[in-house]
Amino acid sequence: MPEIGARVSATALMLFAWAIEFALGYPHWLYERVRHPVVWFGSLVTILDKAFNQAHWPHSVRYFAGLVSTSILVGASVGLGFWCAALLPNTWWGFGLEAAIGASLMASRSLHKHVAAIGRPLADGDIETARDAVSMIVGRDPNRLDEAGIARASLESLAENTSDGVIAPLFWGALFGLPGLVGYKAINTLDSMIGHYNETYSAFGGFAARLDDVANFIPARITGFLFSAVSPNFTAFKTMLRDAREHRSPNAGWPEAAMAGGLGVRLSGPRIYEDRVNDEPWLNADARDPNAADIVRGLRRYWYVLSVAAFVLTFIAGVESI
């Protein structure tokens, strides 16, 4: 097969990878046979967690162990990305395979699927099915969520994961190609597994949590501005600038506040995790509570954001090819 010529830009690679993910997702038959790259990586995290996150060790020792473990895993992931990119030939089939690897680390299709699976039964009044569905994407106790709580959790997850699962992977992939995408996914997976502020992980996962904050700093703000840009008025933008910093996360508040302002609902607020209540501040506090119809509206805004992001990446790829 003939060579492509000049190596295709990282932005073009991310666009093609995203198109594959958008069209196919991660096929179930493939997952059944080989699982998923995140599952493989998660197994490594679990091994290091069990080996080096010892409760009887001093806090400083556990933090250092987590720092070293995180650095090794992220470094190895970036190295694997470089190795794959260098090993694949500069042909169309090599480019396609590299894009397919990248597609496995994006989540635009699955995010829509999970959130829509909550909205449909909630609109039909089937709150138990909606609770089961929302438990797949949030950590709070679903049995204590009413309709407003389920809708709020869905919209918060949609907003935050638009950044973590779509915009951030595209951002780091467009900057650094497959190594950037793989490295970001490693950081984000580490944060989701060990980056918790509790007795078990505040030390061992502390460095992973801080690294994830850094990795998502720019993408989260880009996502917030995109949600603001696709809203029909300036309320989303004003709410984001006013309330984003009130969120417990330095990053999640930006897309969530923009979502709250754009839909005219309040998000965040007090939430229940197992046997504890986190008294979080409200985003867009004076607005009404969301409902099932707002999940549909939120998903529509989500697709607007993806459309704008695709247009911007296409424009950049076009400029790079000149």
Distance CA 96, CA 13 (A): 9
Mean pLDDT per block of 10 residues along the chain (322 residues) reads: 63 96 91 91 96 95 97 98 92 93 96 96 95 89 89 97 97 97 98 93 97 98 98 95 94 98 94 68 95 97 97 94 80
Q: What is the pLDDT of residue 274?
A: 58
Take residue 193 and report the two structure tokens written for it.
């597994």
pLDDT at 177: 96
pLDDT computed for residue 1 by the predictor: 45
Cα–Cα distance, 322 to 261 (Å, whole number): 39
Instruction: Please report the pLDDT score of residue 273 as a whole number.
Output: 61
Proportion of the chain in helix, strand, coil states, percent, rounded to 5? 70, 5, 25
pLDDT confidence of residue 170: 98
* Contact of 163 with 259, CB cutoff 8 Å: no
Which residue in 298, 294, 266 sits closest to 282, CA to CA? 266
Evaluate the CA torsion angle 229, 231, 233, 237 in order and state its sign: negative
Measured CA distances, 288 to 102, 135, 233, 294 (Å)? 40, 23, 17, 11
Closest C-alpha among 210, 213, 102, 118 to residue 166: 102
Buried b (16+ CB within 10 A) or exposed e, 33-59: eeeebbeebbebbeebbeebbeeeeee
